[in-house]
Amino acid sequence: MIRFDQVSKHYADDKIALNRATFHLKRGQMAFITGHSGAGKSTLLKLIMLMERATQGRIIVDNQDLANLNRRQIPWHRRKIGLVFQNHQLLFDYSVFNNIALPLRINGYHERDIGRRVRAALDKVGLLGQEKAMPSTLSTGEQQRVGIARAIVNKPRLLLADEPTGNLDPELAEEIMHLFEQFNQVGVSVLIASHDINLIRHLPYPVMKLGQGRLTHLRASS
Amino acid sequence: MKHTSVTPNRPSNRIQGWLQEHHKAAIGSWQRFWNSVLSTTFTSLTLAIALALPGSLLVLLNNAEQITRHLQASAQVNIFLHKDIGLADAQQLTQQLGQREDIHNSYLISATAALDQFRQQSGLDTILDSLAINPLPHTIVITPAFHAANQIALSRLTAKLDTLATVDEVLVDLQWVQRLAALLETTRMATLGLALFLALAVMLVIGNTLRLAIENRREEIVVIKLVGGTDAYLRRPFLYLGCWYGLLSSGLAWLIIQFGLWGLQAPLQRLGDTYQTTIELVGLGISGSLGLIISSVLLTMLSATITVTRELRLIEPH
Ligand SMILES: Nc1ncnc2c1ncn2[C@@H]1O[C@H](COP(=O)(O)OP(=O)(O)O)[C@@H](O)[C@H]1O
Ligand SMILES: [Mg+2]
C-alpha cells in the first residue's frame, strides 16, 4: 500500500527531517512509527499526504508514484486516505454531523447518502445519536472519535494517524487503538505515528523507529 | 476492502451531483451573505455608489446629447462679402454656392435687406437714416449638407470659402453648439476614464471583502484541502458570494440612478418651461439596466476569480 524507497526530506533551513527512509506497508497491514518528538514522524505522514514533497527517493502509494502527481491531482490522491490528527482539527462552528459529512460533501454525494454514511461512521466510533451535538460540548476522547469518524466516513483504503492518542489518558488511548484495530480487521491499511511506546509495546503490529530522520525496523509483525 | 458503489460515478448522477453542489454553494453563500447584514449592506452600498456615479453621468450625457442633437442639425454659415461687390455678383455667387456638393442650400441677404432688418430690430431709424452710405455688406447664408457635428468638414468648408476673393469674412453661426458638442464629448471621455477607475475600485473592494471572507474560514479550507476538496469546490462558494455582491450592488446602483433622475425631472421641466419646451429625461431603459447589472456582475466575478484563486493557493495545510 505504501512503499518508501530511500526517501529523504530536507527542509529549507538545511534541516534533515527524514534521511533515506525505506519501508513497505503491505495492503491490509497495520504498523506503527515511533520516535521522539522531532524525529520526523509527522514529516513522513505529510509526505504520504502530499502536504510536503520528498527531496530525494521514491514514494509509492496505492501503486501510484507520488512524484508523478501534480498539484491538480493532489485532491484525488487525498480522497483515498483517511487522516486522523492529534488535535483532531474539528471545525467548532459545525455540528458533529457536518464535520463528518465534509469528505462526502466534497465528493458530491447525495444528501440522503450522506446521512446514511455519517450515521454508519458514528456507529463505528460509538457515538451514534450525537450527530446534532456541537464538538465543543464533547469530551476530548469523543472529539477524537469524531475526528476518526470523519477519516473513515469515505471508506478509505488507507488510514493515517498522527499521534491520535497524544492528548488522551491511557484508558481512552487504548480504546482509540482498539478502534484502529477494528478498521484494520475489515481490510483497511493503517499507519500510526506515536511516541507512546508503552501503548504500542504489547500490540502485535510492526513497529518502525525514527531517530534523527533515520528509520530502523524495531520489530516485524508477530 | 470492499467498496460500495460510489453514487456520483454514474453519469446522470454526476450531473445531478454537480447541480446539487452548485445549488448548495449558492444557497450556502447566500446565507453567509446575509449573516452579517450590516457589513454586507455597507459593502454593497459602497459598490453601488461606485457603480452609480459613472452610470448616472452616462445617463445625463445621453440626455444632454439628445437635447442638443436637433440644435446641431441646423448649423448655419454666414458669408460676408467685400463692400465693393455688387448685387449681381453676390447673386451669382449665391447660386454657385448653392450648387456645391457640400452645401445644402444658400440664400442672399442683400445689404439693403440687412439694413432694413437691422433698422426694424434696433429701432435706430434716425441714426441709420443719417448715414450717407449703407455700412453693411451683402451676406450669403448657407446650410452645409453635412451634420454640424462634423467639425472637420465644417472647417474645411469655411477655409475654402475664406479663400474666395469676393469673401470678406466667414462666420459659423452656431459655434456654441460645436463647443457644447465638444464639451459633451470631453465629458464622455472623462466619464469613461472615471468609470475605469471606479471599476478598479469595485474590484479592489470585492477583492478585499472576499480575502477577509476566506481568512475567516481558513481552518475550514485547510480541513477541506486535507480531505481532498478540489480548487473548484473551494472556490465555488466565494465566487457565488462575489456574484451576490455584484447583483445586490447593481440593484442599489439602479435605484440610485433612477431616483436621481426622477428628482431632476421637476426642476429641469421648470427650466424647459421658460423656453416653452418639454424636457423628458430618459432613464437607463432595458438595455442600460441590463448593461449595469451585467457589467457589475462581470466585474465582481472577475475580481472574485482573481482574488479567490490567489488566496486559496496561499492556504496550504501544514
Ligand atoms: N515546515 C518545516 N520547516 C522546517 N523544519 C521543519 C518543518 N517541519 C518539521 N521540521 C523539522 O523537521 C524535524 C522533524 O519534524 P516532525 O516531522 O514534525 O517530527 P515529529 O512529528 O516526529 O515530532 C524537526 O526537527 C522539525 O523541527
Ligand atoms: Mg509530529
Extents of the domains making up chain A: 2-219
CB contacts < 8 A (A, B):
75
With contact defined as beta carbons under 8 Å apart, do B108 and B139 qualify?
yes
Residue A77: pLDDT band (50, 70, 90) is: very high
DSSP type of residue B82 = P
- Ligand 1 centre distance from Cα of residue A18 (Å): 9
pLDDT digits (tens, 9 = 90+) for A159-208: 999 999 887 888 889 989 999 999 999 999 999 999 888 888 888 899 99
DSSP type of residue B164 = S
Mean of the per-residue pLDDT values of chain B: 85
What is the rounded average pLDDT of the residues A47-66? 95
| B278 vs B143, more confident | B143
Q: Say how far residue B86 (Cα) sits from the centre of its chain.
A: 51
- For residue B72, the model assigns a pLDDT of 53
CA-based nearest residue in chain A for residue B7 = A109
- Ligand 1 centre distance from Cα of residue B45 (Å): 48
* Any atom of ligand 1 within 6 Å of the Cβ of A213: no
Residue B276: pLDDT band (50, 70, 90) is: low
Determine, for residues B227 and A91 on separate chains, whether the beta-carbon distance falls below 8 Å.
no
Determine, for residues B13 and A110 on separate chains, whether the beta-carbon distance falls below 8 Å.
yes
pLDDT digits (tens, 9 = 90+) for A84-94: 987 778 999 99
What is the rounded average pLDDT of the residues B93-97? 90
- Ligand 2 centre distance from Cα of residue A33 (Å): 11
Closest CB to B224 among A106, A109, A154: A106
Q: Identify all chain B residues contacting A89, using CB atoms and an 8 Å cutoff.
A: 219, 222-223, 226
Residues 6 or more apart from B308 whose CB is under 8 A from it? Answer: B210, B214, B235, B238, B239, B242
- How many angstroms separate the CA atoms of B82 and B22, rounded? 81
Residue A222: pLDDT band (50, 70, 90) is: very low
Residue spans per domain, chain B = 23-70+178-314, 76-172
What is the rounded average pLDDT of the residues B278-298? 89
Residue in this structure with the C-alpha cell 478598479, named with its chain if needed: B200
Q: Identify all chain A residues contacting B7, using CB atoms and an 8 Å cutoff.
A: 109-110, 113
Has domain B76-172 been given CATH number 3.30.70.3040? yes
Residue type, A133: A
**Ligand nearest the Cα atom of residue A40:** 1
- For residue B123, the model assigns a pLDDT of 73
What is the rounded average pLDDT of the residues A94-110? 92
pLDDT at B7 over 50: no
Mean of the per-residue pLDDT values of chain A: 91
Q: Which of B73-82, B187-196, B243-252, B275-284 has the highest mean pLDDT?
A: B243-252
pLDDT digits (tens, 9 = 90+) for B55-65: 998 888 888 88
Q: Which atom of ligand 1 is nearest to the CA of A210?
A: 22
Residue B257: pLDDT band (50, 70, 90) is: very high
pLDDT at B146 over 80: no
- For residue B201, the model assigns a pLDDT of 93
* Any atom of ligand 1 within 6 Å of the Cβ of A40: yes
- For residue B1, the model assigns a pLDDT of 40
| B84 vs B271, more confident | B84
Closest CB to B8 among A75, A109, A188: A109
Beta bridge partners of A161: A84, A192
What is the rounded average pLDDT of the residues B3-32? 70
pLDDT digits (tens, 9 = 90+) for A107-153: 888 888 999 999 999 999 999 989 999 999 999 889 999 999 999 99
- For residue B174, the model assigns a pLDDT of 63
Dihedral over Cα of B32, B35, B37, B39: its sign = negative
* Any atom of ligand 1 within 6 Å of the Cβ of A47: no
Q: A48-54: long-range contacts at Cβ-Cβ below 8 A with a sequence spacing of 24 or more?
A: A48/A2, A48/A81, A48/A160, A48/A191, A49/A78, A49/A81, A49/A83, A49/A160, A49/B226, A49/B317, A50/A74, A50/A77, A50/A78, A51/B226, A51/B316, A51/B317, A51/B318, A52/A9, A54/A7, A54/A8, A54/A9, A54/A18
* Any atom of ligand 1 within 6 Å of the Cβ of A19: no
pTM of this structure: 0.76
Residue B5: pLDDT band (50, 70, 90) is: very low
Determine, for residues A91 and B223 on separate chains, whether the beta-carbon distance falls below 8 Å.
yes
Name the strand (E) or helix (H) holding B167. Answer: strand B167-172
Residues of chain A with pLDDT > 70, as a percent, come to: 97
Q: How far B36 CA lies from chain A's nearest CA (Å)?
A: 16
DSSP type of residue B138 = P
- For residue A192, the model assigns a pLDDT of 96
Task: Among B107-121, B171-185, B279-293, name the one with the lowest average pLDDT.
Answer: B171-185
Q: How far B299 CA lies from chain A's nearest CA (Å)?
A: 27
* Any atom of ligand 1 within 6 Å of the Cβ of A11: yes
- How many angstroms separate the CA atoms of B265 and B284, rounded? 14
With contact defined as beta carbons under 8 Å apart, do B136 and B114 qualify?
yes
Cell numbers at residue B300, please? 465582481
- Of all protein residues, whose CA lies closest to atom 4 belonging to ligand 1? A11
**Ligand nearest the Cα atom of residue A12:** 1
In the CATH hierarchy, which fold is given to the domain comprising A2-219?
Rossmann fold (3.40.50)
